[in-house]
Amino acid sequence: MFTLSKLFWIVAQPLSLAFFAIVISFVATLLGWRRIGLVFSSLGAAVLFVTLFTTAGSFFLQVLEERFPRPQADPSSVSCLIVLGGAFETEVTTARGGIELNQSADRFVEALRLARAFPDAQILVSGGDGSLSGTYEGDAAASQRFFSTFGIPVERLVRETTSRTTFENVQNSKSLLESAGLDNCLLITSAFHMPRSVGLMRKAGIAVVPWPTDYRTSGEVRLGLDFTQPTLNAQQTATAVREWIGLASYFASGRTSALFPAP
């Protein structure tokens, strides 16, 4: 299932869809199927236009981010922080060591802030190697260097090093939480990722307080044209499409109880 999901996303992401539509159009035209070629060339052009030159990606990413509002103030006490992986460039850290963070770095920056604010809280970091090759260290492994660099004792860390997907994050973390006697934890992950994560937590019977971070939109995005930043538009669209597909597939497979989990 893991390998199939990875291969599916290679094909299903917007720019890949546009590419394959253009290839099919070219082949169909060579074979004399001009109408089919026209349909697929038009489809490819439409996907490219929406992906590169509209705010559709940011708009639908914003819908995800707004689902679970971040609390206005820190809680009075915290006993446990759950940090979902995906914030380290693990291919680079495996080869070079050190701490190399990606766009989701806010997950660990926020966890560090809370860890300092609540020095008695345990920190469960969930994240193994999510690559197809399986040859890289995961976020849980790299996180030890990160937290140690900023003076957080290793004794406070509970590392879940085997998960490759969000579903595995939750399933593998459940036994660690139970064995450590930790409950009612803050769940720290990207805001767009929170609905799916909370849905999985609820299905697994794990009580958490959603603590979204790593916002990618302003909260004021409207659908429209945008010719100023095609590269960012493409990235936002890919992230949004992937997350919405994840929500739908997890609900369809019974891994969550709601298509779009709410507070």
User: At 2, is the pLDDT very low, low, confident or very high (cuts 50, 70, 90)?
Assistant: confident
**CA–CA separation, 225 vs 12, rounded Å?**
23
- With 90 as the cut, is the pLDDT of residue 8 above it? no
Q: What percent of the chain has pLDDT over 90?
A: 88
Note whether 244 and 259 are within 8 A (CB): no
Res. 67 pLDDT band, cuts 50 70 90: very high
Rounded (5°) CA angle 117-159-135: 130
Q: Where are the domains of the chain?
A: 2-65+223-252, 80-213
Helix axes 14-30, 34-53, angle to 10 degrees: 160
C-alpha–C-alpha distance, residues 40 and 34, integer Å: 10
CATH of 80-213, one of 3.40.50.720, 3.40.50.620, 3.40.50.1580, 3.40.50.1860: 3.40.50.620
Q: Report how far residue 196's alpha carbon sits from residue 259's, in angstroms, rounded to the nearest whole number.
A: 9
pLDDT of residue 135: 86
Report how far residue 204's alpha carbon sits from residue 225's, in angstroms, rounded to the nearest whole number.
Answer: 41
Q: Which of 81, 75, 77, 78 is nearest to 158 (CA)?
A: 81
